[in-house]
Chains A and B, each alone.
Chain A
Amino acid sequence: MFEGLIGGFYECLQPLNLLLLFLGTFLGLLVGALPGLSSPMAIIILLPVTYSLDPLPALLVMIGVYVGTKLGGSFAAILLRTPGTPASACTALDGFPMAERGEAGLALGYATYGSFVGGLSSWIIAVTFIPVISAIALKSSNADVALIGIMGLVMVSAFTRGSMLKGFIGVCVGLLIGCMGMDRVDTIERFTFGSLDLLTGVPFAAALVGLFGFAVVISDLSLMKSKSELVATKFRIKLPTFKQFFSRWKAWGTGSFMGAIVGAVPGVGADGATWLAYGTVKNNSKKPEEFGLGNPDGVIAPETANNGTTGGAMVPMLTLGIPGDASTAIMIGALYLHGLQPGVTLMKTGGDVVYGILAGLLLAGIFMFLIAMGAIRFFVYVLRQHRSLLFPFVMIFASLGAFASYGTIFPVFAAIFLGVFGFIMEERGFPVVTIVLGVILGPIIEFNTRTALMLSGGDWTTFISTWPRVIFIIIIVFLVVNEIRQGFTRQAMAKNLTL
């Protein structure tokens, strides 16, 4: 194992391989930062270019893109409140308020540190515990995934500032949007209104760029009319120090751990892990009321979790041939195209490539850190431009991202519709983020709950049949009780104040 890794690093450190990895990471950061464009899109576009390369260099380009997009997505989330990728949506919650008050440099710095530390910790966990991570991937059943999803949804209380009722309604709207289309269990068509376009439901990319990207542009346009300040015009390009970052150990520790474990569970991935990490850190914070207003922990937790999933997702891909997300699914295809056979035999038949990929994962994280730290000033400079210059680009890239997700125009229309809808909801005090959370977690919870019940023959005790599931249930019950208790306390305090 150790010798294999040394060999992997030796291969990766060859000048050409190193250059390709660097270019891939740079491209990943760029693609991730463009709203709507995602890692799978970039990898699939690069695939034909890699045909002429040997398997390892080809995979290293993809690994670079994969790692780079994870952080790049958060740059757009922080600066424009338009997440570049689904996994960076959570970062917008506290990242954007920080940028608004002129701390864009700090927010981007924390995101970069978080992504680097998350990727590094997850790499160490993944490489040290390959058999354990593989076992988690293999043994995580539908019941486990459903409970993890419910945990994330319960933590929705963390995102609802103001009215709990409006937050709840927002989640329900998200769940409704998420259940449109042909259901995955019975193939029954729900709310398709006879439209073939809606047979696969509302495209997730459309929901994301619509509810965030378009809605934000519309919202900011309305502010421009009233000549309000959108974002502080004076920027401090002040970056956080190592000491400042490491003092927030609870946030990066939680994010790293959750990223590595949840990343290994196929079906949840980075999109779910970020919310779980954010919710956990907020619930354990002494000042939970500061979250959503620009608390650096609210940037660090999702960003460490985001990159923390890379190691977790890579292990089942390399050892079992099971993809953890859309990007790793394409990489499995790429392995075939390069003459390798992904699956349980890959360690034996292509061990050098496997170790090379693992080494590349770590090196890509280092490149990502170096490139991003250097690019922060550039990104902040871009943000300083007048919004009227930025909006057309946001709209173009958001539309492009929506279009590229399905290869048809329908997601673009869906995104525009959801953008207007999201703007109206936000104006009425319904947090758009709760809708997005419902769209992300709703289908995961529904499908896995129903499949778990089918596997158990309708026996609900399947949800408490293992120790991990019992622990999940206890956490869920605790969160619900705690939320109700806090609700009563807040109500009582409000009553006392009015008296």
Chain B
Amino acid sequence: MRHVLPRSQVQNFKIPKMEIMGSGHSICPGCGISLSLRYALKGLGRKTILVVPACCCSNADGSLLYTAANVPVFYAAYGTAAFAVSGIRAALDFQGKTDVQVVLWAADSNNRNFEFWTMNGADRREENFICVCCDDQAAIKARFPKSDFRGGLVEIMAARGISYAATASVAYPDDFIDKFHKAKRINGTRLIHIHLPCPPLWKISANLSIQMARLAVQTRLFPLYEVENGEKYTVNVIPDRGFPVEEFLRPQGRFQHLTNMQTEVIQKDVERNWKSLLNRAAE
């Protein structure tokens, strides 16, 4: 073991050292929820209230009044998280605590679908909150998953002109934290769509989850980008080399049924999306 402490650390990621989240949660091994929550809190700081609808995260964080997140957490009933957000926001505004961020934390893709319309309503109310949709791509399962790979959520919300919409991946913690940090300084409805590795669902071994998340970005299947006010597109991570989507699909047990032809269709779809994303960013 070395004894000389490094002065100039050869770090791969420059991220805040402050650790808000604590250990002791009961999230599955290799799941991206705990990491994303941890990174998000690094970006958001302690003045944050989480609202979690019924999802993978609802029994994971703690018991009774205790929470591993170390920020207040409110577990909302199914399909009502955006409303609970509104209530909490209203109460905070009444109390003059306008610096506290309310974050809707929908931690699996059931909620991506289920909370989507409630989020829509919140946007119509011009609610001031950050909506986080963790996407484990649960919908992409049995059949031909072409269209499901499209990161439609950000596009829909961007089309509605919300102040900030972005995608993030746990394999890129620096970018992830930057986005939360940025979202925190913007008012209005903000959306962050997180790509979330789920080992049991994806049928991969737990230790590979970060690697798979990274491959999703590197294959351009889940591009990391942000949209400000529905207009200004920025692509945050441009992969050095275009890995074929097969690199992402083949290691996963859930995609063993894909034929080469199907993979090719996905590849074309991904390329088209990537191209159109670059075009929008260039505008």
**Co-complex (A, B):** no
